[in-house]
Every structure is written in structure tokens, then in C-alpha cells.
Amino acid sequence: MGCQKNIKVNVLNEVEAWELFLEKLGYGIKLPSDTEDVAKEVAKRCAGLPLGIITMGGSMRGVIDIHEWRDALEELKESSMGPDDMENKVFPLLLCSFIRLRDPKLQRCFLYCCLYPEDYRIPREELISKFISEGLMDRRNSRQASFDQGHSILNKLENASLLERADSKYVRMHDLIRDMALRIARNDTGFMVKAGLQLHVIPEEQEWEEDLDKISLMCNKISDMTHCMSPNCPRLSTLILRRNPLEKIPDAFFVHMRGLKILDLSYTWIEELPNSLSDLENLNALLLTCCVELKYVPPLTKLKELKELDLNKNKLKELPQGMQNLVNLKSLNIGFMSCMEMIPAGILPKLSHLQRLILPDHFQVPAEELEGLKNLEEFQGLFCDVHDLNQFITSQQKYGKLSFYSIIVGAYDSWSRIHPDSKRLTDKLLTINGYCFKRGRGGEDKVLLPRTSKT
């Protein structure tokens, strides 16, 4: 809990344990007498351990049917993960709560959370973006619908007491629950998680086993990769190296990772990406935000499955070659690319599936380049004048999907103060020659509409 000193919390007595268990089941719930007897037996199995009571009670929230309670009790009796006292008392309770999620979609999303370091405040929006890129959720027709589904999944995991809400924008995993998730992930689904361990070098190449599915090395001090030239991981779908002082990746590093779907190198010091990246034809998300030294990205011509490309904050002078081939791209963030001078004409119109587009803040993109983006839901950009604004909004009104935007008309030097960088826009913001018109989600403020007459 972040206390200054350790405070011993004793196990609860039977009355206290039952009261806490009932609280997690839901206030006001009335169990039939025969069902209540089984429920009390389940509560007793928690041995007075608060975390076990909270987790087990949360997993049974709202359940009244006696058959489900009997089934839960049977699962609890059979759950076992190890010989020592802590495992015998706690882990079976946590494992039972995981099993009782039932829905494989919820279980997959829960296990994904253990890729983050211990005690890490995980941004909900970032997590949901990865769920989408990994294909862990059901497909939805719009970005908003996908995020609604993602928030619903996280809420269900919170209600089951398998995730904690840090605040409205973050979730966190309890240490013991994360330990349980790591055991399942390592044994059943092929995870290698060494996140936040203060590693200075990348794991030896022999540790990169062929059957690995996900690897997380985020939040370490890794700068050297020279002894790990080309790991043989054909099944690897996720590789997270974010928040490492990484400067160089061996050129052949990705040669045997053709199944990779998510590559996250955000917040590294990488200067150039290896050419082997160009052959990752199954890649769905390439995340390079805040790679402030990045000067070269190899051609992306073959990456036709790419759905999310984040190039926010770097030293690239131009977009990578082959951008026009990314016909399935849904999210493109090229904001704050201060060294880039222009976007070649004809590229954006070919990215017709874009749902989210974040453009640089220091040059205008002609409105006609954006007219064909029929699926756009989120937009951030700069227009030369009100005429271009009219042209853009008129075209978007035909499609009726644009929900969140942050638009500047005319030169404006204080863009970053008006709209701090964020994963997703949450307000409607329009600035014309320094005058700001804003509308929040509540819609209580006035909205500036385009003028139909010439300006």
C-alpha cells in the first residue's frame, strides 16, 4: 500500500471473513439458505486471507445459482500450484478466480497484463490498443466500439478483483496475482517476462526459445544487444523493449521472428531500425513513440497487415518508404515530428481505413488530401485557413464518424500547451488564430461549425 513501514495484517476471523466475502459478492445480495451454506464453505477455504477473500468473492459477484457455487467449491478443492505454505493457501484461490472467468477472451486479456513490471500503473488506453493489435478481443467496426469493448473487459477484471483501479485512466496488478498470472503464462502460453528487473544486457540468445509467444523486457537498463544477433523465435507475437536506453539493434535481429504482431520500442534511444524489420509481414503494430534519436526506419512496403504506426517524437526528416502500401492502417501518429518538412502528396488518400490520424503541428496538410478518409474518428492537425477547415469538416460530416478532434487553423505557436500529447483525444478543440473553442464529452460548450459561404 506504499506505507512508510510494514504493517502486519492478521488473518480475519470467521465472522469478519464472511462479512468481507459478502461485501465482494455485492451489497444487498440475498442467497437462498442452501446456496449460502455452500458459499460459506467457499469463504472458509480462503482461510481468513484478505486477498483470497476479495479475489474469490469478486469472482463470484452476483452469482446465486447453487450449481455454480458447488462447481466453484469443487474447483477450489482441486486447485493446487505448489508445495509451500503460501502457495497452498493463496495461489489456489487466485487460480480458481482466474478459471472462473470462463471467457477465454477475459483470460487472455488478464494474462497480457503481466507483461508489465511489478506495481506498474498500466494506462488503460495503451493496454486496450495492445488488446486490439494482438487480436485478443472480438472485432468491432469502429475504433470507439473497440475501446468500449476493451474498457468493458477491464471493468470485468476489476469486478473479479483480478485487477485494481489505480485511477480512472490506469489499472494495476497485485503482486501475488501477477505472480499467479506469470506462472500460468510461462507454463501454458510461452511468456518470457523480465520487465523492470534492472537488466543491463539483453538475455542470452539461448533463452529465446522457439515456442515463445510473448517477450517483455520493458523498463530495464538494456543498451547492449550485440551478443543476441538473431534469436530463433518463429512463433513470437509480441516483443516489448520500451523504456530501455537501447541505441542499436543487430541488423539480422528480426530475421527469425516472422510471426511478430506487436513491436514496441517506445522511449528508447534507438537511432536506426535494422533492415530485417522490412520483412515482418504479419506486424500489426509498430510503436516508436518518443524514440527521440530515431533517424532511419527501413521501407515498410511489405508490412501490409500493419494497423497501428506510432512515429510520434523523433528525428525523422521524412516518412518511411512504402507508406502508401499500408492499406490496412487504422491508426497513424506522426505528431511532433519536428524535423519532417512535408508529407508527400497522395500518401494519405491511400490510407482509406484510417480511424485515427495525428498530424505534425508545424505544417499544414491540404484538406483535399483528407477528403477520402471515410472512417476517421479521431483527428489532430493544422489547417492553413478557414476555407480548408470548411472543406475538411464538410467532407467529414458526410461520413458522420468524426468524434474527437483537436484542430488549429492558421499558425499558432502554443499547440503543445493547448493540447498535451495523449494516447487518445477526449475533447473537441478548435483553435482559430489563437482563439480556442472547446467541447468536452458532455457537449455543454458551444461548437464552432464550418461556414458555408466563402471566407
Residue-wise pLDDT for 192-223, tens only, equals: 999 999 999 999 888 999 999 999 999 999 99
Quote the cell numbers at residue 199: 537488466
More confident residue, 320 or 440: 320
Q: Where do the domains of the chain lie, and which CATH numbers do they carry? A: 14-99 (no CATH), 104-173 (1.10.10), 342-455 (no CATH)
Task: Name the grid cell of 239.
Answer: 516483443
Q: Is the pLDDT of residue 446 over 50?
A: no
So what's the pLDDT on residue 276? 95
Q: What's the pTM?
A: 0.80
Contact 220, 205 (CB under 8 A): no
Query: Can you tell me which residue has the cell 472480438?
Result: 138
Most confident of 112-116, 422-426, 435-439: 112-116
CA atoms of 91 and 50, how far apart (whole Å): 13
Task: For residues 137 and 127, give the distance between their C-alpha atoms in angstroms, rounded to a whole number.
Answer: 12
Would you state the pLDDT for residue 445? 41
Contact between 51 and 15 under an 8 Å Cβ cutoff? The reply is no
- Report residue 436: phi and psi, to 5°: -105, 130
Handedness of CA 183, 189, 195, 200 (dihedral sign): positive
When pLDDT is cut at 50, 70 and 90, the band that residue 352 belongs to is very high
- The average pLDDT across 326-353 equals 93
Higher pLDDT: 179 or 418? It is 179
Question: What is the layout of strands, in order, in the sheet containing 308-310?
Answer: 191-193, 214-216, 238-240, 262-264, 285-287, 308-310, 331-333, 356-358, 378-383, 404-409, 428-432, 435-439
pLDDT at 436 over 70: no
**Is the per-residue pLDDT at 81 higher than 70?**
no
Please provide the average confidence, as pLDDT, over all residues in the chain: 85
